[in-house]
A and B are shown apart, each in its own frame.
Chain A
Amino acid sequence: MTFASTAVRTVYQAAFNSLERPLLFVQNLVGMRRVAWMFLLPNLVIFGAFTFLPIILNYFYATTGSDAILLSQRPYVGAENFRTLLACKDYLDPNTCQQDIFWRAIHNTAKFVVLQVGLMIVFSLVTALILNRDIVLRGFFRGVFFYPVLLSPVVVALIWKWVLQRYGLLNAGLEEAGLSSVNWLVDANWSFFWIVFVTIWAHMGFYVLILLAGLQAIPSDVYEAAEMDGASKWRVFYRITLPLLTPTMVVVLVLSLIRAVQAFDEIFVLTGGGPGTATTLILHYIYETGFAARPRLFGLAAAASILMAAVLMVLTLLQLAVTRSRAEG
């Protein structure tokens, strides 16, 4: 460990020394007022080229038709792709929509985000509270719950597919115990349960650690005072722990919302969006339409992604406004 940290320190030092003079020169050149841009520039250039520009290009895909990949070969169709997506008699009944799977995916995503984020927060909190107790091997258990966070989505899905398939570990265990086996991934409700479960399994560890930190930051004298007053454990939790943990909970909520909306890889490998369309989420629809389908309907996929991005932007900004007003208030 010492060798490694010395090496890191040396490199860090050397990088500083070699860069200080040229950067001081730049600083003097642009002046103090614009020095912020010097720090922003590298990130902004990359961001512009690989994030912002593609988003703009995406807009051009959304307003053009045909199955050609190069923009120069695609005829302009105006808002037709958006009209196709939004053509619906009743937005609550996907069957009446022209793109029924798009709307099923929207319904599923809404349901998934609410359930997954809600349950994720409950389970992370319970786990964090337990890990916050004075227990032997606490470091070990902390590691145990964090380990799945490191696995790639594809590996997570493969692992669980191996467990849940008709001839998997779980059914073998059930039959061993004398129970009848269940076709987990064929039943719509079970499938939905498992995609919620597996995504929680894979990401919970991260949020547990954040909440654990929040819990440990609560000064112990607050609890001692409450204990003196003879407050019940439940009351202490409800009146002290929970309110003091709120800022941390907001962080967890924001991060887990982002992850839930973007959920795709694990679910795609685990259920393929099935049975039928029971676990097809919005990203899955975009992927199927733009990549897996023949011919590829890039225009439709791009239009769907722009609609999704618009909704997400509004949500993010709303969230930011709420957290900011909370922080100030």
Chain B
Amino acid sequence: MATVLNFLTRRRGRHGFDLTDWLSWAYLVFGTVLMFGPVLWVVLSSFKTDAALAQYPPTLLPFAAKTVAVEGYDKPLELYRITGGEYQGRHLAEIRRIGLVAQMVDPAEPDKRLKVNIKDRQPEQALAFAVSNYTELFSRFNFARYLWNSVFITVVATVITVLFNSMAAFALAKYKFRGRTAVFLLIIATLMIPPTINLVPIFLVVSKLGMVNSPWGVIWPAVATPTGVFLLRQYMLTIPDDLLDAARMDHASEWRVYWRIVMPLSAPAIAVLTIFSVMWRWNDFLWPLIVLTRSEQFTLQLALNSFQGELQTNWSHLLAMTVLTLLPITFVFAFLQKYITTGIAQSGVK
């Protein structure tokens, strides 16, 4: 215990633990609960049956009624604890309920039927993970196919985004040419306009180009991000021109200057754009919903939402699917956490 405390209160260079340290720790622990708690709650809920999901007050862990096999009955019966009346304290199995009275039986004496007021019984519950929420998904869905579609769109779109945006940013940051300001302003002006409000016109363009029902219909409209160009340009402005000129002296082509000097030096900013792009494309919903109508082209997000009917939502499956779409991105994050966070950190300063 003391060593743990020692470890936690250890500080590089200095010793001692003052009030501000305690406050900081309290803040961080509270923050952890706040950030992770809701996600964890959804993960646990995804293992509940639909009936358990409707229950109030909700339980933290997935519980289901405990059942017991009683001699003379085909199906296992649900077990109850009796809290009042003449059988108080006993554990009885319910045969059926008629109005306010439950017909019950003691598993030890299967021949005798007992009548109990339904107010006097409490269901016995046991921890039970409704794994069927997940197994049913896999049997109903071509999960691997959706995963592949999502990965394909995400990876290809991200590679193109990074390539095109960085090329444009390079041109805007490192060349002086007529129309530069105009192009830059044009891109900046659209920075704040959310693509959502142009959905119909974009669809008309995509449809004219014959890209409906193709992953490319999702990829191409998404790659020329103004945010990416803006971010990379701002970063590239800080790369000294001398480096570029030195390379040119050695007869390097402009392409070599870009690919061998500017790109590697912009790595932190490119890392940020990569993460952004992966996040955007992985989580895209509204746009793929319009472009992709055939299930063999569906992404995970579309499959996830197919549980939303007009009048009803299949919550148990929806939650299970939510967790499944969370998993890949969580794993990627867990492994690359260090690179991602430092990447953002380095590019943000500029």
Interchain CB contact (< 8 A) of B348 among A44, A175, A213: A213
Report the Cα distance A143→B332, complex, angstroms: 12
On whether the beta carbons of A40 and B171 are closer than 8 Å, the reply is yes
Q: How far is the CB of A215 from chain B (nearest CB, A)?
A: 10
Given the known inter-chain contacts A151-B326, A152-B285, A154-B285, please indicate yes or no for A50 contacting B224, CB distance below 8 A: yes
Of B56, B318, B341, most buried by chain A (CB within 10 Å of CB) is B341
Contact call A50/B202, Cβ cutoff below 8 A = yes
1/0 per residue, CB under 8 A from A, across B284-327: the answer is: 01100000000000000100110000000000001100100110
With the chains together, A109 CA to B80 CA distance in Å?
A: 53
Decide: A146 near B224, CB < 8 A? Known: A162-B45, A315-B192.
no
By secondary structure, the A interface counts as helix
Chain B contacts for A308, CB-based, 8 A: 193, 197
- A136→B204 contact, CB < 8 A: no
A27 to B258, CA, bound (A): 13
Q: Name the prevailing secondary structure of the B interface residues.
A: helix
- Asked if B253 contacts A54 (CB within 8 A), the reply is no
Interface string of B199-219 (1 = CB under 8 A from A): 111101110010000000000
A276-323: which have CB < 8 Å to B? 283, 286-287, 290-291, 298, 301, 305, 308-309, 312-313, 315-317, 320
Chain A positions within 8 Å of B191 at CB level:
258, 316
A133 contact from B24, B285, B304, Cβ within 8 A: B24
| A141–B197 CB distance below 8 A | no
Cα distance, A257 to B175, chains bound together (Å):
30
Provide the bound-state CA to CA distance between A131 and B197, in Å: 38
Q: Is the CB of B14 within 8 A of A147?
A: no
List of A residues within 8 angstroms of B197 by Cβ = 58, 283, 286, 301, 305, 308-309
Interchain Cβ contacts within 8 Å, total number: 277
Which range contains the number of B residues in contact with the other chain? 35 or more
| CB–CB A139/B201 < 8 A | no
* A169 neighbours in B (Cβ, 8 Å): 38, 41, 58
Q: A39 touching B36 by the CB < 8 A rule?
A: no
0/1 per residue, B20-60, Cβ < 8 Å to A? 11001101100110111011011001000000000011100
Q: Which residues of A contact B175 (CB under 8 A)?
A: 35-36, 39
For A205, give the chain B residue with the smallest CB separation: B35
Asked if A184 lies at the interface with its beta carbon under 8 angstroms from chain B, I say no
CA distance A169 to B340 in the complex (A): 32
Determine how close the nearest CB of chain A comes to the CB of B21; give it in whole angstroms: 7
Whole-angstrom distance between the alpha carbons of A313 and B195 in the complex?
A: 14
A114 at the A/B interface (Cβ < 8 Å)? no
Distance in angstroms between the alpha carbons of A142 and B337 in the assembled complex: 9
The answer, yes or no, to whether A176 is at the interface (CB within 8 Å) is yes
Which residues of B325-350 have CB atoms within 8 Å of chain A's CB atoms?
A: 325-326, 329-330, 333-334, 337-338, 340-341, 344-350
Give the residues in chain A near B164, CB-CB below 8 Å: 42-43, 46
B177 touches A36 (CB 8 A): yes
Taking the complex as formed, is B170 at the interface, i.e. its CB lies under 8 A from any CB of chain A?
Answer: yes
Q: List 24 A-B contacts (CB under 8 A).
A: A19-B255, A35-B175, A42-B167, A42-B168, A44-B224, A47-B187, A49-B220, A50-B205, A50-B220, A131-B28, A134-B14, A136-B7, A139-B338, A143-B333, A149-B279, A150-B330, A152-B283, A154-B283, A154-B305, A162-B41, A262-B194, A264-B196, A305-B198, A316-B189
| Contacts beyond the supplied A51-B190, A135-B24: 20 A-B pairs with Cβ under 8 Å | A19-B255, A39-B254, A40-B168, A52-B190, A54-B202, A55-B190, A58-B201, A130-B24, A136-B10, A139-B338, A150-B333, A151-B283, A153-B283, A154-B283, A155-B322, A155-B325, A167-B57, A172-B57, A262-B196, A309-B197
Q: 4 shortest A-B CB distances, which residue pairs? A: A152-B283, A210-B348, A213-B345, A54-B201
